[in-house]
Chain A
Amino acid sequence: MIRQEDLREDILNGELTNLFRWFLGLPEDSLSPFPGLMAAGVAVGMLVGFVALSAVFFIWLERKVAGRIQDRLGPTRVGGKFGWLQTIADGIKLLVKEDLIPRDADHILFRLGPYIAFCGAFCAFIALPFAQGWTAYGTGTGAFAIGVFFILAVMSTEVFGIILAGYGSGSKWSLFGGMREAAQMVGYEIPMSLCVLVPVIVAGSMDLGKISANQAGWFWEWYVFRDPFTFVAFWTYFTCATAACKRAPFDLAEAESELVAGFHTEYSGLRWSFFFMAEYAAMFAVSGVAVLLFGGGWHLGLPVWTLVGLSPELSQVLNWPSNVLNIGNAINAGVFIVKCWVLVFVQIWVRWTLPRLRIDQVMMTCIKYLLPISCFLMLGVSLWEVFARPYLGDYFKFVLAGLVLISIIITAMRVFTTPMKLPTPGIDAPWGPRIPAEFTIKRS
């Protein structure tokens, strides 16, 4: 029979199969598939919950940021001062909305599109490590050996859902949206994959957990500062990733000024919200890949945890109980999620700041600029690793990290010291003078 103490250890390690064996009253060497399926179900439930909750948060964030950038307040009413529950209210509205399928649509493809899109984006989370060993697939025995390749592969299936939706709607606006998405994605996947290869070459592994573990310690250990090529690769990757999530300025598939709503013109209700879930899930996933590959993964960049003794490595040396390790991992996961949020915020920021490109400009950006740049980066980083590193040693990263830090400090100082000129007096800016009392919105 399964012993309680072992069970406790297993649960802390994220191995739930034995728990369900015990729950179903099966012996430890039972071959029944059900405990495994149930354990997988728990993992899937946790991931779906996480994806759905982050989507709720991101939609609120999007509206809030958009409001601020456009000199508005954004949602303010539902659920308190900042409109916290706005997305929930939207969700309830979408749930009760009438679910329409146009008469001329291809019914099967129309129904299938949103689910394929969501599955594609969601599957990326299977390989995304949130902390040391916290991966849905490959827990315990080590992370997924080809994690980043897997993520690129499943993210490419998301597009298929969009194209099916565009084609199956039987509407010309949708068809245009679908075609644009197909052309765009087939192009942008290439520079994106090539940029992903840059840190993979540096790390010598496609295992995201290993790549992230390589960047432990101070923030200059992050791959983005490692050499000039990885530095440029980060920005190139992020541009391509923004395009891969079909976010503005690359949201040609939607292009509401020309195509009504692009590929989801004919969608309403729950199916429509699946597209949004997929979009926000993909945003988080590509940001997560960027953080893991370039931005130090789940490491804070200041080795505080090592000093306090909560780092997994140190706790092993000190022979601390494993739940302490899990606390450290939980904090690391928090750091990782916050980093991803920052990048998602940047995507939202870019969306509401830059105008949309034309489709030919989008394709030209990819084929004429991003593709040659990414090829050059891949070649450059290989040559750097072989020829430049033996002579320069590791010192370059201090230079680059220092420069970036100094420029961030200078920018921040200028922003916060320059007096804010308000275009419309009286509306609250993110920083700046307090709103005079007579302008605040009075609540009854």
Chain B
Amino acid sequence: MTLHAALFYILATVTAISAIGVAVTSNIVRAATWLLFALASTAGIYFLLGADFLGATQLIVYVGGTMILVVFGVMLTASGPFVNMKVGAAEWAISLAVGLLLYSVLAIVLLQIEPPSRNIPPNHTLLPSKHIGAALLGSSSSTPEAKVTGLRGGQFIPRTRVSYLLPFEIISVHLLVVLIGAAYLARAKRRREDVA
């Protein structure tokens, strides 16, 4: 077993156990903590694969942003000291059944895929951040290549860059709308308190 394999097994075990922990814990903040471990060890797997940028993004977006907001939200809205979700036996049974069903479907599907034909060593030639940024702007050809079948009589269709500049701009419009919506939600609440 190589070092990479050993680390992968460790991280995979942590991810799986934490994910189960998220599902079975009824205390919300404890579930969030389990989720933290699951997400952080997923980031670890990304690092192990040499996708440092992705791993760091995973950390900053989920661990540094989303998880903090989850706990923050619980702290702001909780009425008692520790918030627990009451889960009935029927709910347990249904969600367990659905979860296992989905899991088995995904597992069967994933087990069908043929393993990679050659033993790919972990690639540590990391892309400089400049290339990643340029690729996202669409000005570099280092975007992943599709398995273009090249129909039309065997003619090869050149896959050129895919630009994510436009999606980026659309996201900024989304955020504007979200900001305004959030402001309205917050303001409406305060007004009702004034009335009461």
Contact = CB atoms under 8 A, between A and B. Distances in A.
Chains A and B directly touch (beta carbon < 8 Å): yes
B188 interface: no
B63 A36 contact: no
Interface string A157-175: 1011001101110100001
B33 A156 contact: no
Interface in A142-160: 144-146, 149-150, 152-154, 156-157, 159-160
A198 interface: no
Contacts of B7: 33
B82 A156 contact: no
Chain B binding surface SS class = helix
A106 B75 CA distance: 14
A153 B59 CA distance: 6
Interface band, chain B: 35 or more
A156 B63 contact: yes
Contacts, number: 115
Given A141-B124, A170-B81, A186-B68, A32 B1 contact: yes
Interface band, chain A: 35 or more
B99 interface: no
Contacts of A156: 59-60, 63-65, 68
Given A157-B64, A204-B130, A33 B6 contact: yes
Contacts of B3: 33, 36-37
B38 interface: no
A106 B128 contact: no
Interface in B50-99: 52-53, 55-57, 59-60, 63-65, 67-69, 71-72, 74-76, 81-82
A160 B68 contact: yes
Contacts of B128: 145, 205-207
Contacts of B146: none
Given A156-B59, A179-B76, A146 B52 contact: yes
A183 interface: yes
B60 A153 contact: yes
15 contacts: A32-B1, A106-B29, A106-B82, A145-B129, A150-B55, A150-B56, A152-B60, A153-B56, A164-B33, A167-B71, A168-B29, A182-B75, A186-B72, A205-B128, A207-B129
